[in-house]
Amino acid sequence: MFRTQVYLTEAEREGLQSLASQQGASQSELIRKAIDLYIDQHQRTDWKEKLLSLAGCLADKTDWADYEAIRREGDRELNR
């Protein structure tokens, strides 16, 4: 783990202290959980956007036997 310093408003500090006390957790633990949730939500949004960008990319395909070509096209669209 890495140590970092974060500035909080008085209301944020009081709310964090209250939650930590109610949950029997440290303030650091709650901050890490909040950061993890934030990162996870944004990564999922990015994934959803990438997945939605694939919609219709194979609409003109007539030969579904070539799975590898379909897969490469999907990978190419995801990496755009």
User: For residue 42, is it within any domain?
Assistant: yes
User: For residue 4, is it within any domain?
Assistant: no
> Smallest Cα–Cα separation from 67: which of 80, 55, 58?
58
The total number of structural domains that make up the chain: 1
Share of residues in the chain with pLDDT > 70 (%): 82
Which position has the token pair 């209250």? 18
User: For residue 32, is it within any domain?
Assistant: yes
- For 39, list phi and psi in degrees, rounded to 5: -65, -45
User: For residue 15, is it within any domain?
Assistant: yes
For position 7, what pLDDT does the model report? 96
Tens of pLDDT, residue by residue over 24-53, are 999 999 999 999 999 887 776 666 777 777
User: For residue 29, is it within any domain?
Assistant: yes
**Alpha carbon 60 to chain centroid distance?**
31
Distance between CA atoms of residues 5 and 49, nearest Å: 33
pTM of the model: 0.55
User: For residue 1, is it within any domain?
Assistant: no
User: For residue 38, is it within any domain?
Assistant: yes
Distance between CA atoms of residues 35 and 61, nearest Å: 42
Tens of pLDDT, residue by residue over 16-31, are 999 999 999 999 999 9
